[in-house]
Structure 1
Amino acid sequence: MITRVDTYLHSVPLSGAVAEQVGPFTLFRSTTVWPYYARPVPGSDVTIKPDDVELVRARCAELEIPLSFEWVVDTCPSLGPAAAAAGLTVVEHPLLVLERDDFRPVVADARVEILSADEDVVRAARAVANLAFSDPGTAVGAAGPAERDAAAAETRDDMVATLSDRARRGISVTAGAFTDDGMVASGTHQPVDSATEIVGVGTLPSMRRRGLGAAVTSALVEHALSHGVDLVLLSAESDAVAAVYERVGFHRIGSAGAAE
């Protein structure tokens, strides 16, 4: 299972990047509006050393792109210590999966639906996610519909156009939860063959503790399973956030690492 997850995570950046081998890593050079990262090659069983990290640092400097790494800790446990020794900040997050028989649908007091590629809809979904991740955690916060509308107006046009294009091509599928105040939660899944990853699930801070994130996740899982996917994965910010996904049927299989 974790090998399959690692393989998926190595293929999903290719929708927006080109791959280049740098030592024991694949460096994904972005062709879109957000940066990517380097990953250890799945199945290589290599022990990563600080000098290997420095190879990627030098190449990123040459290309004038940010230096960052993502990996599955359980398949490459040496990368975290090597990245830390090279002066990078290293974090680990719970890595969870769900298979078809695990799925437990969740509903909330909101209308939840798969969103269109319309740019106004995409703009609102991006604004919800940005506000959610700028105030991380599960506690109720201050930002609400007014802040969402202001953030939507400030969202870059090139970002919106890119997200709309990805939605039209099926590279990403986004769901939103709606109340009388408009869109209050959103999230996305990114299918590649028969696996997909759920990313960017967020609720307006003022609307938390209402089950909206779990309901959006549930809608994304349902969509994925009805379109040929049999494995859904995600990484959670923390154990508290992982508990939200466990309501839908996800269970932990390891840890996802990131360094920058």
Structure 2
Amino acid sequence: MRGVPYLELEDLPALLERLEHYYDAVPRSGARPENFGALTLFVRAGQGWPFSARPALGRRGEVRAADVHRVRLRQRELGVPESFEWVAETAPALQAAVEQAGLFVRACPGDGGALCAGQQQPVGKVSEIAGVGALPAARRRGLGLAVSAALVADARSRGVETVFLSAATRMPPGSTLGSASAPWPPH
């Protein structure tokens, strides 16, 4: 692609470090961090989708299954999903700790690429959601709904009052429009 810089392999550690700082910073604007050893659980202040627990920024040592158990207990107290997220390259031992604590791990994406994407196109107080699509292997998992909901939330946070969804009438061969049972628009 013209205009898109190519990432050199030696730049990967610096990129991963920037991403870890980003993953830690995003929830802090609307959540309170609670530390559990080498894990941080961001507890949302007010309404909104709950955050997953993740490795603490600047942690020392590996995450232990006991840390995962403590986070899961707190998530149950809060009535939020028991979920964890991390970048495998920055916390390679976390998967074993999470599995040892009794959770199933699904690698996303696993091959280094995105599973689902979409875009919103705001103009003034109106925005169109368009181009939402998932890879064939990732369909029927609710990813399109999740991406759409995130785009709506982003538009609303930027002052957009009207959001609408455009869908193609003709889909490429092998593609499907998924359905999910969820309220729309998401709150």
**Residue in structure 2 matched with residue 183 of structure 1 by the alignment:** 166
In 2, the alpha carbon distance for the partners of 1:16 and 1:207 equals: 38
In 2, the alpha carbon distance for the partners of 1:168 and 1:208 equals: 34
> What do the CA deviations read for 1:67-113 (whole angstroms, capped 9, x no partner)?
111111111111101111111121222557xxxxxxxxxxxxxxx97
Alpha-carbon distance, 1:7 to partner? 1.2
Instruction: Calculate percent identity across the aligned residue pairs.
Output: 30
Letter in 1 for 2:49: W
Show the 5 A alignment for 1:125-144.
Answer: 125=129, 129=132, 132=133, 136-138=134-136
**Residue in structure 2 matched with residue 63 of structure 1 by the alignment:** 78
Alpha-carbon distance, 1:205 to partner? 9.6
Show the 5 A alignment for 1:212-223.
Answer: none
1:35 aligns to 2:33 (yes or no): no
Specify which of 23, 27, 34 is matched with residue 13 of structure 1: 27
**Residue in structure 1 matched with residue 156 of structure 2 by the alignment:** 165
1:49 aligns to 2:64 (yes or no): yes
SS in 1 for 2:57: coil
Contact 2:53 2:85 in 1 (8 A): yes
Alpha-carbon distance, 1:64 to partner? 1.6
Letter in 2 for 1:13: P
**Residue in structure 2 matched with residue 72 of structure 1 by the alignment:** 87
How many residue pairs align between the two structures? 141
In 2, the alpha carbon distance for the partners of 1:37 and 1:71 equals: 9
Task: Give me the TM-score of the superposition, normalised by structure 2.
Answer: 0.59
Q: Kindly tell me: are residues 166 and 55 of structure 1, through their superposed partners in 2, closer, same or farther at Cα, counting changes over 3 Å?
A: same
Alpha-carbon distance, 1:163 to partner? 4.2
**Residue in structure 2 matched with residue 107 of structure 1 by the alignment:** none
Letter in 2 for 1:81: A
**Residue in structure 2 matched with residue 207 of structure 1 by the alignment:** 171
Letter in 1 for 2:135: G
SS in 1 for 2:158: helix
Q: Which moved more, 1:21-30 or 1:49-58?
A: 21-30
Q: Which has the higher contact order (CA 8 A, sep 6+)?
A: 1
Contact 1:117 1:164 in 2 (8 A): no
Alpha-carbon distance, 1:164 to partner? 3.8
Show the 5 A alignment for 1:231-246.
Answer: none
SS in 2 for 1:115: strand
Gap runs ≥5 in structure 1: 97-111, 142-150, 177-181, 185-203, 210-260
- Greater share of residues in helix: 1
> What do the CA deviations read for 1:186-219 (whole angstroms, capped 9, x no partner)?
xxxxxxxxxxxxxxxxxx695347xxxxxxxxxx
Gap runs ≥5 in structure 2: 1-13, 114-118, 140-144, 174-187
**Residue in structure 2 matched with residue 244 of structure 1 by the alignment:** none
In 1, the alpha carbon distance for the partners of 2:93 and 2:58 equals: 14
Alpha-carbon distance, 1:27 to partner? 0.6
In 2, the alpha carbon distance for the partners of 1:60 and 1:7 equals: 23
Q: Kindly tell me: are residues 51 and 137 of structure 1, through their superposed partners in 2, closer, same or farther at Cα, counting changes over 3 Å?
A: same
SS in 1 for 2:43: strand
Contact 1:116 1:167 in 2 (8 A): no
